[in-house]
Structure 1
Amino acid sequence: MAAPDPEDGRAIDSETHFKIVAFLPHMFLGGVFSRPLLERRAADTDYLQRYVNTAVLPLAAARLTASGH
């Protein structure tokens, strides 16, 4: 079963989907550690909420859709 692409609703194949899902922890930690390096600002609660809602949850939702949950 193909998961919807979070950007435009198109289906992505299962192989691509699982490659994306494998990087979810990396993406989350990337937000925590990269903001201080790139922006010289702390990864505060507001930033992390925006980051998770914009970058992490759409891929997690695609994972649930692909698994039939």
Structure 2
Amino acid sequence: MKKLETIVTIDQVPIDVEFTCPYCEANISEGFEDFLDDQGLSWSDFYDRQHDPIKCPFCENEIEVSYEFD
């Protein structure tokens, strides 16, 4: 009997978050779990497609965001 094949895609869990603040132009890079804690977010916040603004850890300005998973 011939074996059938399929492609299995494995999604990588986010490890780091990187963004540039549009106000102070700081390049921010931090661990994903730290980002969630600092911003008061949870995984479920990424599924509702409505994203609350985040705050820059340097200048404290609120930033409108959209997320992109690499």
**TM-score, normalization: structure 1?**
0.30
- Richer in strand (by share): 2
**TM-score, normalization: structure 2?**
0.30
Structure number with the bigger relative contact order (C-alpha 8 A, sep ≥ 6) is 1
